[in-house]
């Protein structure tokens, strides 16, 4: 099972960024634990603050991987391009948000990812990525 986790802008600051909302663990530390726990899976991780690089990565994995776990962060709410990329590829995409975006500002309630995602996991903290992973291993 080949799975890629793709994180969008500002998620490189996890651990430092608004810890009351996003927690105090870095993504790298969390990812290491995931790799150990799910050693039978081939896990990849990519983060970028640049919209086009996220689209490139979705295209790169989108015809060969078994699953994409995508937290497009702020681009979730603005990016027609990322929404179109998800529509274009064959690999199923699970949309993840660390925070419960529906408890937050109304601009966070809009998603260009959701209409074409296989599933959506919001508000479970970093555990949401693991829940997404488990959904692919069923």
User: Can you tell me which of 57, 61, 97, 121 binds ligand DQA, judged by CB under 6 A?
Assistant: 97
Is position 97 annotated as part of the catalytic site?
yes
Nearest by Cα to 1 from 43, 35, 58: 43
Handedness of CA 38, 3, 47, 122 (dihedral sign): negative
- Of 2 and 26, CB closest to ligand DQA: 26
CA dist 11 and 39 (Å) reads: 24
Check residue 74 for interaction with ligand DQA (CB under 6 A).
Answer: yes
Check residue 57 for interaction with ligand DQA (CB under 6 A).
Answer: no
Contact residues for 13 (Cβ-Cβ < 8 A; gap 6+): none
User: Can you tell me which of 82, 98, 126, 133 binds ligand DQA, judged by CB under 6 A?
Assistant: 98
Q: Which residues bind ligand DQA (CB under 6 A)?
A: 10, 71, 73-74, 76, 97-99, 101, 108
């Amino acid at each position: 099972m080949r799975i890629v986790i793709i994180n969008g802008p500002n998620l490189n600051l996890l651990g430092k960024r608004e810890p009351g909302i996003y927690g105090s663990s870095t993504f790298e530390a969390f990812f290491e634990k995931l790799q150990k726990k799910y050693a039978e899976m081939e896990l990849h991780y990519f983060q970028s603050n640049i919209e086009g690089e996220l689209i490139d990565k979705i295209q790169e994995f989108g015809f060969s991987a078994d699953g994409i776990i995508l937290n497009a962060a702020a681009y979730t709410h603005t990016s027609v391009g990322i929404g179109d990329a998800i529509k274009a590829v064959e690999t199923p995409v699970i949309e993840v948000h660390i925070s419960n975006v529906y408890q937050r500002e109304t601009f966070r309630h809009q998603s260009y990812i959701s209409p074409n995602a296989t599933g959506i996991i919001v508000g479970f903290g970093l555990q949401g990525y693991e829940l997404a992973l488990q959904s692919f291993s069923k």
